[in-house]
Structure 1
């Protein structure tokens, strides 16, 4: 689902991210860890072409699309619909004056979710035309999505200020599910959440992988979190990948001094 070779991201000639190799398969979780400023989020954003001011080189394919050479129209086809980005503070992206259900419905309509292909033999529409599935169809998609992340359908009637940080994170995941995303890019999805809520979000991520085969690329500085969800780990320092491998091996038997320092910093 994600294939990266020789990715380098520069701003003003300064190298801020250097990732020789990164692969994420269906149903797999790969984590990028490191301290703040190590290039984790820059790497994540570059996978969707969301670093317009940067100089990017290398090979990046996401859901079969060459991100570095694809035209903007092609990138818009996969953003949201096939690849979802869940940010550290999803509430910042939610309009405070709009109910969550209205926000989700707008996103679904924008990406064509809920449209049903019309019959090519009905004599009224050309082959390939689409008709809206109706409000009821969208409501059902939305309801099933929020229930999949352990939220009550009633939350769709609330405003963003009426939900907690953990609920906002799960709502962002629900939106990804409703859109039919195959890949989720999660940037610090549990930071600033208390331990109980973190456990809820982690549980949702693990279940989505198991039940829906989602590919998950997780950016985090929380090694305890990473140890519970990741299959493989990349460790970044000053924009460079210093160690990578199976999570169990990297976290139990680190070979690089920086990885050992990160582990020793855990309380």
Structure 2
């Protein structure tokens, strides 16, 4: 579902993210970890062609589409409908003056999808009454699940999740991750997860990439990388985990 070869993102000639190789298959979860500023979120944005004013080179295929060579129409066809981005703070992307149900129906209409919004929110363990609420009337965990519900309603085959559990309490974190895990199992979703929470990554990811200063310093099966790290930086991350 995601195939990356020698992806490099530069701003003003300065490389801020370089990923030699990254593959995510249907039903698989791959995590990208590292400290703030390591290039994780930039990599995620580059996969959907959302890095404005950046020079992006390499090969990126998402749902079979050559992202770096695709035109606006082709990109519009995969963004949301086939590959959905769940941001770190989804409430910031929701119009504060529009009810959630209206927001979802507009997105569905834009992509020509006839899904039932109520079924979509119930699929992520939310009450359908949430569709009558405004963004400020829901919690951070509900906002994360609503963003996932929108991806489900659009029929997304790939979810790119940027710190989906940051600033959430442990119970809500478990709910959000549980929803993503169930969707992977039931619908064969491919999940690319950006996180700095190694405990979370160890519980959900099949494979992991470790980034530092824009470079991938280690990658491999999650169990091996987190139990027997080969790079000093990975060991530092593990030692820094409470």
Shared fold by TM > 0.5?
Answer: yes
In the alignment, is residue 108 of structure 1 matched against residue 108 of structure 2? yes
Partner of residue 123, structure 1: none
Post-superposition CA distance 1:12-63 (Å, at most 9, x none): 0001001000000000000000000000000000000001211111000000
In the alignment, is residue 16 of structure 1 matched against residue 16 of structure 2? yes
Moved >3 Å (runs of 4+): none
Post-superposition CA distance 1:186-205 (Å, at most 9, x none): 00000000111101101111
With the length of structure 2 as denominator, give the TM-score of the two structures: 0.99
The whole-number CA distance in structure 2 between the counterparts of 1:244 and 1:36 is 18
- Give matches, 1:1-267, under 5 Å: 1-114=1-114, 138=115, 141-267=116-242
**Could you tell me how far 1:144 is from its partner in structure 2?**
1.1
The structure having more radius of gyration, on CA atoms, is 1
With the length of structure 1 as denominator, give the TM-score of the two structures: 0.90
Gaps of 5+ in 2: none
Post-superposition CA distance 1:60-93 (Å, at most 9, x none): 0000000000111110000000000000000001
Q: Cα RMSD (Å) of the superposition?
A: 0.6
The whole-number CA distance in structure 2 between the counterparts of 1:255 and 1:148 is 40
